Structure 1
Amino acid sequence: MILAIVIMVTLTVAIAARVLAPRLAGDRVLFEQSPDHPSPFGYRMAWLAVRSRDTEAVAKELGLVAPEPCNWRSGIGTVYDNHLGNDHVFVSPPVNGWTFVVGLALPFPAGRTFTDKAMPMLRRLGDRFVEVQYFFAYPPIDCFAWARVLDGRVVRAFAITDSGIMWNRGRITREERGLGLKLFDFRGVRGRKGDAGGEIVFYPTEKHVLSLAKRWSIDPSGLENVEIPTPALGLIALAPASWKPERANKTGMKKAG
């Protein structure tokens, strides 16, 4: 499954690169604006799933900078690009009632020494839209997260990094329980003490995050199989400067949410 996702993402990025490369005007990238069908994503990525058919309303609520029309192929290629992906996000056209916001520029639970900017963003979106979901899967730093906001209330939020658990709000959902521990990889032991061992820590995998996304809304790694009425355009935009990681104030360090 993971190998298939890697192959799909690699192909998506390669195709998008061929589209983007010839369309550079000075320092400005001219994004492809020919409507197309959904492109898959999910591997080493962060995304929001917002229950809304209004792409522009989602972009506006997030405070995105300089949004412009962009198709799926170019948008997903951009957020996976080593340079453009640092500060761009792609807001998709709706798919079965869900609008995706995709990109590593989204706020994420960076650790206890950093201000949590992801939870305030989710709460703000939750005040505007009936349901908001957040997913993050990035194995190189052992960072995995998921959250669900319903009717303005955070019903579940879990995040773990190589520094430990960052979020653990609300009860474990039925969908999480249904996945079972067999979808977790054993990565190591924390706090080992001599031969007696120590606390065992289980880390989720990308497969776990994508499987949960499928049960809560849509698994984005399979979007190429989702039928939509007509090809459409989304928006590509710069992330607001307020999303950039910021070290917490040591004198009053307090996690948001």
Structure 2
Amino acid sequence: MATGIIIGLIVIAVFALTFYKKRHLSEQAYYPSIVPSTVDKTIPDSAVGFGYKCMWFAVKTDNKNRLAEILKLKNISDCNWQVGIDKAYNGSVFITPTIDGWTLACGWGLPHGDTKEGIEKVKSILQTLSKEFENAQFFSTHRVSEYHCWIKATNGQIERVYSYLGESGENITIEGQPTEFEKNLKLANTFSDEAKDEKYFEREDLVWADEELLMQVAEHWSIDPTKLDERQDIPRSLGLLGQR
């Protein structure tokens, strides 16, 4: 009997370790490069849209170098949009040229903000950024796990956090009052007293976060990056590429 218990414990341990590794690897699920290695990243090009299955900071500044410094990027080099966005989806961080007064830092090299601990890391960065640049925001979305998060900071203070994990049907963190755009929505709040009733999840008037809603929030707060390649007013230019 003792042998059976030991075997059972070993099986559970192996399963737990496998689950952890899969979860960890899923967090590092970069995407195959689609840009040939022969492409010259130093040649300025037109804006490239991004946003889906990604995370980014939006900061009210035109100082890319200072933003890279605060984000503690290494191996920094000038880089165009085509190579920069491709590398961003493969573990690097791309700081875009300034658009309408906003500079975006995107890529899987950034904190993902998909756990309570991750959100705290993002909040710390946003506080630093917004102390220096007044306005800083963070967005993260991934349709596989249906994770969606948006955070806003002003003058060093976190004003709003909303995050939702669809695969568990629960919010991870909600802080602050809804912003002007959010006030028009009845965003689901699984922390509310109403959510203690199972019928809450059947309500048709509730709005559950998805990647399209996140892009709408981004557009109302700053920039919707999925629409960048549609714009003709953004001059050909270079951003910065680095790693954390």
CA RMSD of the aligned region, Å?
2.7
Deviation at 1:63, TM superposition (A): 0.9
1:214 matched to 2:219? The reply is yes
Cα distance in structure 2, aligned partners of 1:219 and 1:17: 22
Q: Report if the CA contact (8 A) 1:108-1:117 is conserved.
A: no
Q: Report if the CA contact (8 A) 1:95-1:228 is conserved.
A: no
Match of 1:125 in 2: 129
Q: Which has the higher strand share?
A: 1
- The alpha-carbon distance between structure 1 residues 113 and 177, as it changes in their structure 2 partners (threshold 3 A), is closer
Deviation at 1:209, TM superposition (A): 0.3
Q: For residue 98 of structure 2, give the secondary structure of its aligned residue in structure 1.
A: coil
Deviation at 1:158, TM superposition (A): 1.1
Match of 2:229 in 1: 224
Deviation at 1:140, TM superposition (A): 1.1
Deviation at 1:36, TM superposition (A): 1.1
Q: For residue 156 of structure 1, give the secondary structure of its aligned residue in structure 2.
A: strand
Q: For residue 75 of structure 2, give the secondary structure of its aligned residue in structure 1.
A: strand
Pairwise mapping of residues 73-88 of structure 1 onto structure 2 (< 5 A)?
Answer: 73-80=82-89, 85-86=90-91, 88=92
Q: For residue 115 of structure 2, give the secondary structure of its aligned residue in structure 1.
A: coil
Which blocks of at least 5 consecutive residues in structure 2 are unaligned? 1-30, 189-194
Q: Letter of the aligned partner of 2:87 in structure 1?
A: T
1:19 matched to 2:19? The reply is no
Q: Letter of the aligned partner of 2:201 in structure 1?
A: I
Q: Which one of 49, 61, 68 corresponds to residue 52 of structure 1?
A: 61
Cα distance in structure 2, aligned partners of 1:50 and 1:114: 19
1:149 matched to 2:153? The reply is yes
1:47-80 CA distance string (max 9 Å, x none) = 1110001111111111111111110111111122
Cα distance in structure 2, aligned partners of 1:153 and 1:113: 18
Q: For residue 100 of structure 2, give the secondary structure of its aligned residue in structure 1.
A: coil
- The alpha-carbon distance between structure 1 residues 157 and 114, as it changes in their structure 2 partners (threshold 3 A), is closer
Q: Report if the CA contact (8 A) 2:94-2:240 is conserved.
A: yes
Match of 2:6 in 1: none
- The alpha-carbon distance between structure 1 residues 141 and 36, as it changes in their structure 2 partners (threshold 3 A), is same
Q: Letter of the aligned partner of 1:134 in structure 2?
A: F
Q: Which one of 160, 163, 186 corresponds to residue 164 of structure 2?
A: 160
Deviation at 1:103, TM superposition (A): 0.8
1:81-132 CA distance string (max 9 Å, x none) = xxxx23x110011011110001122113333476832111111212211100
Deviation at 1:151, TM superposition (A): 1.8
Match of 2:177 in 1: 171
Cα distance in structure 2, aligned partners of 1:36 and 1:114: 33
TM-score by length of 2: 0.73
Q: Letter of the aligned partner of 1:99 in structure 2?
A: T
Q: Letter of the aligned partner of 1:130 in structure 2?
A: E
Cα distance in structure 2, aligned partners of 1:171 and 1:143: 20
Deviating above 3 A after TM superposition, structure 1's stretches of 4 or more consecutive aligned residues are 112-116, 196-199, 227-230
Deviation at 1:199, TM superposition (A): 5.0
Count of residue pairs the alignment pairs up: 202
Cα distance in structure 2, aligned partners of 1:115 and 1:208: 19
Cα distance in structure 1, aligned partners of 2:76 and 2:183: 39
1:139-191 CA distance string (max 9 Å, x none) = 2122110011112221111112245322211101111123x35xx89xxxxxx
Cα distance in structure 1, aligned partners of 2:149 and 2:142: 9
Task: Look at both structures and tell me which one has the larger radius of gyration over its CA atoms.
Answer: 2
- The alpha-carbon distance between structure 1 residues 220 and 142, as it changes in their structure 2 partners (threshold 3 A), is same
Cα distance in structure 2, aligned partners of 1:95 and 1:112: 31
Match of 2:80 in 1: 71
Match of 1:200 in 2: 201
Pairwise mapping of residues 101-140 of structure 1 onto structure 2 (< 5 A)?
Answer: 101-112=105-116, 116-140=120-144
Q: Letter of the aligned partner of 1:45 in structure 2?
A: C
- The alpha-carbon distance between structure 1 residues 110 and 211, as it changes in their structure 2 partners (threshold 3 A), is closer
